[in-house]
Structure 1
Amino acid sequence: MFAIAIEDDQTLTWQQRDAPRSESPHEVRIRVAWAGMNRADVMQRAGQYPPPPGASEILGLEISGTVIDAGPQVERLRPGDKVCALLAGGGYAEEVVVHQDQVLPLPQGFGLREAAALPEVYATAWLNLFMEGGLRHVEGRPERVLLHAGASGVGTTAIQLCRAFGYPCLVTAGDDGKIARCRQLGADDGWNRHQGSFVETVKQWGGADVILDPVGASYLADNQQVLNLDGRLVLIGLMGGRYAELDMGRMLMKRQRLIGSTLRSKSPQAKGAILDSLHTHVWPRLASGELRALIDRDWPIQQAGEAMAYLESNTSFGKVLLSISGEG
């Protein structure tokens, strides 16, 4: 098969590679049609985010495609099924092998291109808002959510989930145009990160009960200031650095919780539990049009380097996709 390789100078090249081998009777082989691009791929390319033990070294954490083979203990998937899948790696390739628990059917009415934009962002947003963040109603009031990088793939997905399930959210983003588009998706308000601290805006809005943060160190102090009593800060990335001073007095007195969360290294069974929740609670809303796949642009897989440069430019709004077979 062909797959993307990372050269010594970090150039991405489409070249012949060995096809992945199945190691379990619970796995399926999928012919890849489309792959989603994520910030984790950028970090792995730079040598900052190695794949978990046993995972493919090929980039790519989400795909859509067609099942071409199923192990003897695979129960619900058959050759010919159109699916999307959440991976630990290997998606920038013509074929992937993945545990059945990490595979979902396409939402009703969705094609393969749209479906490739779903697994990673919806699993990440659902996991960290509702499972790790414990988003809920308290005394009849919906909790409030602060979403950093609101125009990203995860951010735009989280906005839609907050709107669909009745939780107010406020976003930060890099320009006013992106903030306006976030409002159109359902955000209450937004703050342009180039205009200084978001603290006063978020406090006037009512503070945050759950914060979804891919930034890390540079936002920690301000996050603590706006986090309400019993608030949860869910850290999902480190774009702003690894090290910062934590005000443990504020954390103690306000009963704040700091939660570190990564999806990639979870077991197939743990990922399966997240995808089961998506299939139950989210897939019907995608089918009805209440939620949608938000795609910015796509590139042929042979132009993966150009696509990644575009993602790194921070001008995208929603998902960047790579076409492998181009099947719709």
Structure 2
Amino acid sequence: MRGLQAEAGVLSWRTEAAVALAPGQVRVRIRAAGINRADLLQKAGNYPPPPGATDILGLECAGEVVEICGDSRWSVGDRVCALLAGGGMADEVVIDGRHLLPVPQGMGWEDAAAIPEVFSTAWLNVFELGAAQPGEKVLIHAGASGVGTAAIQLCKAFGNPCWVTLGSQEKLDICKALGAQGGVLRHEGISGLKADGPFDVVLDPVGANYASDHLDLLALDGRWVMIGLMGGRQAELDLAKVLVKRLQLTGSTLRTRSADFKAGLLARMEERLWPLFETGQLKPLVAKTYSFEQAEEAFAELARDQIVGKIVLVNGQA
């Protein structure tokens, strides 16, 4: 089995022995795998996999069930997509069967591989931890990213007006076409959003650079959910604003959550979101696809930060 790994910032394909299944696990032949910023961090040596997880890259994939062990809802030949702690950029992966979801009817491998990580991140942090209620305003940073474009669609579907921050007018126009009410370009600063607020929920992969602004942009009882630190980890805050506004700051990571937590999250997503994928109301936004053999080019493309949506690797040998 081939698997994509990284050492000292260099990607390489390695052959490993196939893993035997334990009860409840499923073997999936991988057809496509989504690339996420977490993969860039792992490639650079800054985001090691959780204890016990493979060091093969890839947090999401889509493919066919080829083997099951024990009782399972799945059968050989089922088309599935998977949320992973690692291992998606490989010929096959062994996974807890509860961490699989059916590929929505009529959807291709590339689109299916772009669903699990970004939509689970957006759903968990805006609607479960952020507790966004219909009509509440949401601020989404990095709105043109995979998570950002997923969050915009979810906000539109569930009745939450949303605004975005991002890097260019072209990206802003695309996000507005997806359903965002408006936004600002990050080099202009985010204080210009004050006229559009106050915001009830902030989805924040940035961290320090925007931290003080959030205290002014958030509404009374606002929820600030931090999912990344692209803008640094050290910030000075006026805690009086936190106190007076009764603000909630929640740090959130998904990769290190327990198997049971992920299973519950995916079950809730299947119930609430999969009907919307079936009707086309929700759709992963795939910007570009590359073959497995073009992985280095695909990672470089994501690092340039010029795309809107997701980059997906396609396994031509599956």
Q: Same fold (TM over 0.5)?
A: yes
Matches within 5 A, 1:235-314: 235-314=226-305
The residue that corresponds to 2:146 in the other structure is 153
In 2: Cα distance, 1:325 partner to 1:3 partner? 14
Alpha carbon RMSD of aligned pairs, Å? 1.2
Q: Deviations over 1:264-298 (max 9, x none)?
A: 01112111111112111111111111111110001
Shift of 1:325: 3.4
Matches within 5 A, 1:83-94: 83-94=80-91
Do the aligned partners of 1:202 and 1:208 also contact (CA within 8 Å) in 2?
no
Do the aligned partners of 1:133 and 1:234 also contact (CA within 8 Å) in 2?
yes
Do the aligned partners of 1:32 and 1:64 also contact (CA within 8 Å) in 2?
yes
1:292 counterpart SS class? coil
**Percent identity of the aligned residues?**
49
TM-score by length of 1: 0.94
Q: Which residue, 51, 55, 58 being the options, matches 2:56?
A: 58
Amino acid in the other structure paired with 1:319: K
Q: Which residue, 95, 98, 107 being the options, matches 1:98?
A: 95
Q: Give 5+ residue unaligned stretches, structure 1.
A: none
In 1: Cα distance, 2:11 partner to 2:197 partner? 45
2:206 counterpart SS class? coil
The residue that corresponds to 2:168 in the other structure is 175
Q: Deviations over 1:37-76 (max 9, x none)?
A: 0000011111111111111111100000011111113x20
1:123 counterpart SS class? helix
Shift of 1:206: 2.4
The residue that corresponds to 1:190 in the other structure is 183
Q: How many residues align?
A: 318
Q: Deviations over 1:71-108 (max 9, x none)?
A: 113x2011111100000001111010110110001112
2:210 counterpart SS class? helix
TM-score by length of 2: 0.97
In 1: Cα distance, 2:317 partner to 2:39 partner? 21
Q: Which residue, 44, 47, 56 being the options, matches 1:46?
A: 44
The residue that corresponds to 1:20 in the other structure is 19
Q: Deviations over 1:232-291 (max 9, x none)?
A: 110001111111112211100100011000110111211111111211111111111111
The residue that corresponds to 2:309 in the other structure is 318
Do the aligned partners of 2:190 and 2:210 also contact (CA within 8 Å) in 1?
no
Do the aligned partners of 2:7 and 2:43 also contact (CA within 8 Å) in 1?
no
The residue that corresponds to 1:7 in the other structure is 7
2:174 counterpart SS class? helix
Q: Is residue 128 from structure 1 mapped to residue 125 from structure 2 by the alignment?
A: yes
1:129 counterpart SS class? helix
Q: Which residue, 193, 198, 202 being the options, matches 1:211?
A: 202
CA 1:326–1:143 in 2, change beyond 3 Å: closer, same or farther?
A: farther
Amino acid in the other structure paired with 2:250: I
2:150 counterpart SS class? helix
Amino acid in the other structure paired with 2:115: L
In 2: Cα distance, 1:326 partner to 1:184 partner? 36
1:89 counterpart SS class? coil
In 1: Cα distance, 2:195 partner to 2:172 partner? 18
Do the aligned partners of 2:198 and 2:219 also contact (CA within 8 Å) in 1?
yes
Runs of 4+ displaced beyond 4 Å: none
